[in-house]
Amino acid sequence: MGLKLIQFRLDSGDPVDACVLQALEQCHGSEHKVAKRLVQVYALAGIQNPAVNLAAAQQQAAAEQLPVETCFVAQAVNQVPQLSEDLNAIEVNYGEL
Amino acid sequence: MVAELQAPTLNGLERVKASGTVSVLALDGGNTWLKYSVAGAPVQCIPAVIKELDTDVEEVEPTADLDSVVIDYEGSTFVIGALAESLGGVPVYQLGKPEYTHLLFMASMSGVAEFSSCPVVEKLNILVPDNRKRQLENVWESVSERIQGIKSFTVDGQMVQPQVRNVQFISEGAPAYVWAKQNGLFSQYERPGIKKVAIFDVGGGEATLQVFDIQTGRPIWTDNQTLPGLKSLADTLAGKLKPYFRTTPDTAMLLRALHLEQRVYESDGQVFDFTEQYEAARKAWSKDVLQKMQGSGLFTAEFGGVVIVGGGAAHCGGIEKATSGRFVVAKHPEVNAQEVNAIAMLGM
């Protein structure tokens, strides 16, 4: 649906991972609400002006029945996919062995 | 990405020659190879095999062979290294490292004995699988006492009366971690969100993955894994070569060939190029260890990357590729990745 999901799970009371903070700052300036138990950050891949798409992201989350408490729409679309890639766990391409 | 090692530049033996004092001796008694460096001298590497001679029927001359030493100690004669291998000796890991580490120390003094019969070793750093308090108390403190209690022995015909002032037991992986960190190999992972990195030490018998907290440098023991080492690769290779020979190829000889990065096996009067079979065996081994790591659930988003060291690192090029460089082999034209722990222990 043109949405790229970056998901971070935070447990209430846990120290908030600085990486999540950084991601949220990139996505939503200083307005992040990291106290939420579950935070899901949406970057709108391929949308040039994502700032207006909070409602679209929320609709999409509802359509996918995701347990969303807070949705953030990426302001910096170009940065978020890169951040997402960096954060990925090691992937093994067995064909390259 | 290629992780570069710096070759030792100071010849510690020159210092020993002048003063009889060894500032630091680094001893890495691996499952298949003994590696040691005397105060920065180039790392010596000999097979970690010991043969105790029955002196009533067996006799060897002191050897000038750099791969072997002959030790006389408390009425017994021991051969260590390549000669011990050819005499049917037993690998140290089968004998038990704690019981024989004092002999490995004596072997490491062979170069020193040329210059000083009463050397003072200010610090002896020994690599051990586990240096947590309980292991130190139950196993290694008695080894320390045994080494410091050595009055005299003969190595390659030269009497040595050593004085070892301090013995330090360092956990496997820790020296390589310190070295990798100092050389910036983990710098790309020093950022928010990444909590763990690891050293993958590929030895003959085992390959161990040692995980560290990148912020504190503390080992995360519960994440460590023991995986099949090069012997597993050699066993697979032996199976693939079996149809070409009358007898099953000798795994020990294949291990030696792999260590030397040779792709030739000679038996039954024929020489066989096993490049093709090696590639298949290497891929199978690489896949096996990666699948075991992946299956353990270690590769989460908080896990950064891995530096590969040890004698088997040369066979891990495929692992580098398959992980897009998240695993990286430490290598240098003059220094084998097998020597990383010994080199790094010189500074610990």
CATH class of B12-171: alpha beta
In chain A, the percentage of residues whose pLDDT exceeds 70 is 9
Q: Which of B193, B287, B321 shows the shortest C-beta gap to A19? A: B193
pLDDT band at B252 (very low <50, low <70, confident <90, very high): confident
pLDDT for residue B256:
83
In chain B, the percentage of residues whose pLDDT exceeds 90 is 62
Asked if A17 lies within 8 A of B193 by C-beta distance, the reply is: yes
pLDDT in tens, B175-203: 999 989 988 889 888 887 889 999 999 98
Asked if A97 lies within 8 A of B319 by C-beta distance, the reply is: yes
Residue A27 confidence (pLDDT) above 70: no
pLDDT band at A65 (very low <50, low <70, confident <90, very high): low
- CB-count burial class (<10 Å; 0-12, 13-18, 19+) for A82: exposed
- Residue A81 domain flag: no
> Among residues B187, B225, B232, which one has the least CA distance to residue B208?
B225
Residues of B in contact with A96 (CB under 8 A): 318, 321-322
Q: Where are the alpha helices (DSSP H) in chain B?
A: 12-19, 82-86, 92-95, 97-108, 110-113, 133-135, 141-148, 174-182, 230-241, 251-259, 275-295, 317-322, 340-345
Asked if A19 lies within 8 A of B191 by C-beta distance, the reply is: yes
Q: Does A85 touch chain B (CB under 8 A)?
A: no
d(CA B232, CA B229): 6
Asked if A90 lies within 8 A of B326 by C-beta distance, the reply is: yes
Mean pLDDT of the B141-155 span: 97
Q: Is the ipTM of this complex over 0.85?
A: no
Range of the domain at A40: 4-76
pLDDT band at B2 (very low <50, low <70, confident <90, very high): very low
Q: Does A62 touch chain B (CB under 8 A)?
A: no
Domain ranges of chain B: 12-171, 186-230+279-329
- Residue A83 domain flag: no
pLDDT for residue A28:
45
Asked if A91 lies within 8 A of B300 by C-beta distance, the reply is: no
B186-230+279-329 CATH choice from 2.70.70.10, 3.40.50.720, 3.40.50.300, 3.30.420.40: 3.30.420.40
pLDDT in tens, B114-130: 888 999 999 999 999 89
- Residue A59 domain flag: yes
- Residue A94 domain flag: no
Q: Does B303 touch chain A (CB under 8 A)?
A: yes
pLDDT band at A60 (very low <50, low <70, confident <90, very high): low
pLDDT band at A48 (very low <50, low <70, confident <90, very high): very low
Residue A78 confidence (pLDDT) above 80: no
- Residue A27 domain flag: yes
